[in-house]
Amino acid sequence: MAKAKGCTHIETDRCKGCGLCVVVCPLELLTLDEKTINIKGYLPAISKDKTQCKGCGFCAMMCPDSVITVMRTSNIKRVSHA
Ligand code: SF4
Ligand code: SF4
């Protein structure tokens, strides 16, 4: 069975650091980057590990400024019949 996979793109310069996406991610993959201040003066959201994203889209749905894009793919396991 194909396992859902995804990848997030966050427009960090448009992020207002509200943290809603951080709270909603079921895998706790998102955080506010405490080492960066964006052009708006906020700590932007970043992904801690893009490889673990399952593409559920909750973060994008929750973001009030629509700065997150989620691309969804499938990781299809191949079985060899050698
Ligand atoms: S798409 Fe889902 S799993 Fe991926 S970062 Fe967003 S909330 Fe987390
Ligand atoms: S929900 Fe949107 S604006 Fe808020 S921290 Fe996440 S990416 Fe930034």
Write the pLDDT tens digit of every residue in 2-11.
Answer: 678 999 999 9
Residue 82 tokens read as 């050698």
Is 80 part of any domain? no
Ligand 2 centroid to 72 CA: how many Å? 19
Answer yes or no: is pLDDT of 77 > 60: no
d(CA 81, CA 67): 44
Is 47 part of any domain? yes
Give the model's confidence band at 56: pLDDT under 50 very low, under 70 low, under 90 confident, else very high: very high
78 in Cβ contact with 45 (< 8 Å): no
Is 56 part of any domain? yes
Taking the CA of 24 as reference, the closest ligand is 1
Pocket test for ligand 2, best of 28, 30, 63 (most atoms within 8 A of CB): 63
Region of poorest pLDDT, from 3-12, 30-39, 41-50: 3-12
Residue type, 44: P
Number of domains in the chain: 1
Give the model's confidence band at 78: pLDDT under 50 very low, under 70 low, under 90 confident, else very high: low
65 in helix, strand or coil?
Answer: coil
CATH of the domain at 60: 3.30.70.20
Q: What is the per-residue pLDDT for 73?
A: 82
d(CA 28, CA 45): 12
Is 82 part of any domain? no
Q: What is the per-residue pLDDT for 82?
A: 46
Name the residue range of residue 18's domain: 3-75
